């Protein structure tokens, strides 16, 4: 309870001192957690943080209606902090005022450099829960045909609502590949091959940039296990190139760069 009181006090101070015109955080609405946009220092007591807060608030730093309000401070658990690093490395974010928090501690107000240092010091070993690795292992132990059947069932649930895309801070294209219609590359019908292509392409477009925050899977109204796709790519990248997204604000994009010694054992 005390740490949230300190967070709220810092948020109020940022607003009253004019260092931020808006604080982006989480609020509780009954059982739900929703984003909160606070510009009045008197209203910071609505800010909360607990493990039920699954949204990645970094998405809001790119929303025009939020940006127009002026410099924003953002309540950031480790997953959000890592997204800020990725956005900074992609020149989408020049600076940030971050209220760094996790379920056990509040680390105060930091800038991007401070966030990078904190991540390196305290959160270098962040990983998704063991259950996810177990699920992936089960999937990898199946035959290719069994895997095809598994994903057929999962992608059949997809309604192409694009909540996964909307919830992801890494998805910020003004016009997404599925919205390209000259030609229409990906079928927009919520059915087999279109759904397959959408999910494979979206996962691939996050390769080397996904911080495994889980916001996509949490946002999916149909319960599709998107993290299995993301973890597969993330593990392959860690194995082949030794890279882990979301720690270095000056990192080069993994899929956008190369080394002469990159493995090509699979190439004839």
Partner 1 sequence: MAHTEPQTAQAAAGYQPRIVAFVCNWCTYAGADLAGTSRMLYPPNVRIVKLPCTGRIDPLFILKAFEGGADAVLVSGCHPGDCHYTSGNYHARRRWAIFRRLLDLTGIDERRLFFSWVSAAEGAKFADLIRSVTAKVAAIGSFEPANPARRRPWK
Partner 2 sequence: MKTLDANKLSDLAAALAAAGYRVVAPLKDGAEVRMKEWAPGAAIDIGPVPVNSIKEFLFPRTEVVAKFSLEGNDFKPEPFETPAPKTAILAVRPCDASAMAALDKVFNWEYKDDPWNARRAATTLVSLVCTAADEDCFCTSVGGAPDATAGADAILRPADGGKKLILESLGAKGEALVAAAGAVVAEGRAKADSPAQVPVRFDAKAVAEWCAGNFESPLWREVSLGCLGCGACAYCCPTCHCFDIQDEATRTESVRLRNWDTCGLGLFTLHASGHNPRPDQASRWRQRVMHKFSYFVEKFGILACTGCGRCGRICPGGMAIAQVCKEIDEARKAVAK
Pairing of strands 32-38, 72-76: unpaired
190 binds, among partner 1, partner 2, none (CB under 5 to 8 A by kind): partner 2
Q: Residue 35 or residue 253: which is nearer to partner 2 going by CB?
A: 35
Paired residues of 73 in beta bridges: 23, 97
Residue 184 binds to partner 1 (criterion: CB under 8 A): no
Say how many CA atoms lie within 13 Å of 10 toward its Cβ.
21
Tell whether residue 190 is a contact of partner 2 (CB under 8 A): yes
User: Does 37 contact partner 2 by CB under 8 A?
Assistant: yes
Segment interacting with partner 1, rule: CB under 8 A, options 13-21, 52-60, 80-88, 133-141: 133-141
Indicate the residue among 150 and 162 with the shorter CB distance to partner 1. 150
Q: Which residue has the tokens 């397959």?
A: 196
Answer yes or no: are the C-beta atoms of 51 and 26 closer than 8 Å. no
Location of structure tokens 């390209």? 180
* Nearest CB to partner 1, comparing residues 27 and 232: 232
C-beta closer to partner 2: residue 59 or 254: 59
Cα of first residue to Cα of last residue in the chain, in angstroms, is 60
Q: Is 173 in the site for partner 2 (CB under 8 A)?
A: no
CA dihedral 114, 120, 122, 123 (to 10 degrees): 110
CA angle, residues 206, 211, 217, in degrees to nearest 5: 75
Q: Is the peptide bond before 183 cis (omega within 30 degrees of 0)?
A: yes
- 3-state class of 47 per DSSP? coil
188 scored as a contact of partner 2 (CB under 8 A): yes
Using CB under 8 A as the binding rule, whether residue 35 contacts partner 2 is answered as: yes
Distance, in Å, from the CA atom of 264 to the CA atom of 262, rounded to the nearest integer, reads: 6
**Whole-number Å distance between alpha carbons of 234 and 15:** 38
In 3D space, the residue among 142, 166, 162, 165 whose CA is nearest the CA of residue 152 turns out to be 142
Looking at 223, 242, 260, 261, which residue binds partner 2 (CB under 8 A)?
223
- Our finding on whether 211 is near partner 1 (CB under 8 A) is no
Q: Is 6 or 140 the residue whose CB approaches partner 1 more closely?
A: 140
**Among partner 1, partner 2, none, what binds residue 101 when CB lies within 5 to 8 Å by partner kind?**
none
Task: State which H helix or E strand residue 78 sits in.
Answer: helix 78-89
Least CB distance to partner 1 at residue 17 (A): 45
CA-based nearest residue to 235, from 132, 115, 89, 146: 132
Q: Which of 65, 131, 145, 242 binds partner 1 (CB under 8 A)?
A: 145
Q: Which residues bind partner 2 (CB under 8 A)?
A: 27, 29-35, 37, 54-55, 59-60, 63-66, 159-163, 165-167, 175, 179, 184, 187-191, 215, 218-219, 221-223
Q: Which residues bind partner 1 (CB under 8 A)?
A: 139-145, 147-152, 155, 177, 185-186, 191-193, 195-197, 199-201, 203-204, 207-208, 228-229, 232-233, 236-237, 240-241, 254-258, 260, 262-264, 266-268
């Amino acid at each position: 309870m005390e740490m949230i009181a300190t967070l709220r006090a810092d948020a109020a101070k940022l607003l009253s001192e004019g260092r931020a015109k808006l604080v982006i955080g989480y609020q509780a609405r009954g059982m739900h957690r929703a984003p909160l946009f606070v510009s009045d220092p008197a209203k910071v007591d609505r800010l909360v943080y607990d493990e039920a807060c699954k949204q990645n608030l970094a998405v809001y730093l790119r929303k025009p209606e939020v940006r127009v309000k002026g410099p924003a401070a953002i309540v950031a658990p480790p997953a959000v902090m890592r997204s800020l690093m990725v956005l900074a490395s992609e020149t989408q974010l020049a600076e940030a005022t971050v209220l760094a928090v996790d379920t056990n501690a509040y680390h105060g107000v930091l800038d991007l450099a401070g966030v990078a240092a904190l991540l390196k010091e305290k959160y270098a070993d962040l990983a998704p829960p063991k259950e996810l690795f177990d699920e992936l292992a089960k999937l990898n132990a199946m035959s290719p045909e069994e895997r095809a059947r598994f994903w057929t069932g999962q992608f059949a649930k997809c309604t192409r609502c694009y909540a996964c895309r909307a919830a992801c801070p890494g998805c910020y294209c003004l016009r997404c590949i599925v919205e390209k219609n000259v030609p229409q590359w990906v079928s927009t019908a919520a059915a087999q091959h279109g759904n397959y292509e959408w999910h494979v392409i979206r996962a691939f477009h996050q390769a080397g940039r996904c911080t495994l925050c889980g916001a996509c899977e949490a946002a999916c109204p149909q319960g599709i296990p998107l993290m299995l796709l993301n973890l597969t790519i993330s593990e392959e990248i860690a194995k082949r190139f030794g890279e882990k997204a979301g720690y270095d604000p000056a990192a080069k994009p993994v899929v956008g760069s190369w080394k002469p010694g990159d493995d090509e054992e699979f190439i004839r």
